[in-house]
A and B are shown apart, each in its own frame.
Chain A
């Protein structure tokens, strides 16, 4: 049995407290008045030497208009309107930032647990012979799925009910109201799918289905430890196969709902797979990291370098798979350059050049060079180093999905972002390692247990 060391428990609580403080600070400082934002834009312009051409365009002519004759009065009025719109836009972006920072981190840690759950189901359904010694680690990680997914949905809904639709503009009832000045015909056309009620119902179905599978597979896994026959294993096998079908549908829809709909004017068909690849590789990486941690503490003596080798192979292969999907999505849209699709990448390319291109280095170039060699895949510190880089890369991946639609060019990885990561990292560690103490770390009487223990590559 694993015991949650006090040191680690304290560490996770410290992370949560620090994170909460930072998240609170983020929300406290994000409510700027119109004048404050106006002042902020003016000082930025002074700093950048008028680099913000959009802003200078509409402040300069309004002066001219005042000085010349009255016929320009209308125009000047229009410019003032433009100015007001711009300031309000920036004001909204600044207010969105702590919400988006919280959402990105919440989604990132949720998707790790979900990716591990999918990996676990695949291992059982494919009757893998190498991985049963890691099942309890995977089951521990998936314990975070239920709280994590609920938090993601709660943040999404809170941004509507508490905030001012800071994450999803389609949640704003004004955009589907033809009488309103904010009426958006495109979003109104999608409101059959994108509305708060059906969003909540779908989220409940997704989370319910995933958590149900997690609960029942864990139940059979523990029951198999003391069973007389393999009936629990057979039931777990059937549930896993069924779950994988359910998962691939719900994961795809979840990615439209929870991620793609931050840009409700944009759509992409392989988006669900793309999000899946990201969660799968992050999940596998976390399996590797926690396995190495537990082994270094002497809890997983039955795990050897060959198991690590296999997990690292998955990290390597899935990193390439992610890149394949990322590039396929990017290249198809870049190549055809259809305006309603390409804006997605134009805004990312113009305002997020470093994270957008940097993540390809972190998620592809680095892992492919580090993990190509068979010997390196067996060295724990090498896998840990690469794993941390992959996790950072996939955080930035989620960041690139959410941020451009919510804060636009007002992004920064500062206190709100980092403390959101700390908050959910602390919660993740706390939940996962608490779950690990609940059952022995080695499955007993699992049909492939012996094969797994003696596995060598």
Chain B
């Protein structure tokens, strides 16, 4: 549930951010989002985010690529027009398979890589001309921003965030 009011707490150090995340989680407040200028190791674990499944999709895309390669070459080289090209045995797919392996490999990698990247773009909603969703431009440079949902407890929450070392705590009304 997206709260209509959120608090933006701004930090200037990733270590302080990490301990703040742990504290806010321990107080059972819901962290909506965290904006950082670079990957902070362990932040996803501290926030309790579910592990990504993108590697699994990549594996499946690889299998698709392998299948495409096999079906394509079996049709072209064996079934459709089994020519004798330099004495290569074109009687069955297996007999000529070593010659197809480089293509099977490359298509597997091609599908696994490209489809995974596209999956990543789709899942993280990234595309050209997309409007940037950055609440504060400083978070792309040297500031860290934690967005915490407010449910009528803003004073207590602001105090808590101040205590964790936030250099700025702003109440933001999102309902517009």
Contact = CB atoms under 8 A, between A and B. Distances in A.
Bound pair: A and B?
A: yes
B59 A335 contact: no
B101 A331 contact: yes
Contacts of A330: 98
Contact of B98 (A335, A372, A374): A335
A335 B102 CA distance: 12
Interface in B95-109: 98-99, 101
B101 A335 contact: no
B99 A335 contact: yes
A327 interface: yes
A334 B87 CA distance: 12
B98 A334 contact: yes
Interface size class, chain A? under 10
Interface string A359-399: 00000000000001010000000000000000000000000
A198 interface: no
Nearest to B99: A335
Interface string B68-102: 00000000000000000001000000000011010
Secondary structure dominating the interface of A: helix
A44 to B, nearest CB: 29
A372 B101 contact: no
A43 interface: no
Interface size class, chain B? under 10
A334 B55 CA distance: 35
B86 to A, nearest CB: 9
Residue from B59, B87, B98 having most chain A Cβ neighbours under 10 A: B98
B59 A372 contact: yes
A337 interface: yes
A295 B169 CA distance: 49
Contacts of B101: 327, 331
A337 B96 CA distance: 13
A337 B98 CA distance: 12
A140 B163 CA distance: 53
A334 B100 CA distance: 12
A327 B101 CA distance: 9
Contact of A331 (B55, B59, B87, B98): B98
Contacts of B98: 327, 330-331, 334-335
Nearest to A334: B98
Contacts of B87: 337
A334 B94 CA distance: 13
Contacts of B59: 372
Nearest to B88: A335
Contacts of B99: 331, 335
A174 B117 CA distance: 65
Contacts of A334: 98
A439 to B, nearest CB: 35
B99 to A, nearest CB: 7
A335 B59 CA distance: 30
Contacts of A374: 55
A372 to B, nearest CB: 7
Contacts of A337: 87
Interface string A305-329: 0000000000000000000000100
A331 B98 CA distance: 6
Nearest to A375: B51
A374 B99 CA distance: 32
A374 B51 CA distance: 12
Q: Which 9 A-B pairs have the closest CB atoms?
A: A331-B98, A334-B98, A335-B99, A327-B101, A331-B101, A335-B98, A330-B98, A372-B59, A337-B87
Given A327-B98, A334-B98, A374-B55, 8 more contacts: A327-B101, A331-B98, A331-B99, A331-B101, A335-B98, A335-B99, A337-B87, A372-B59
10 contacts: A327-B98, A327-B101, A331-B98, A331-B101, A334-B98, A335-B98, A335-B99, A337-B87, A372-B59, A374-B55
Interface of A: 327, 330-331, 334-335, 337, 372, 374
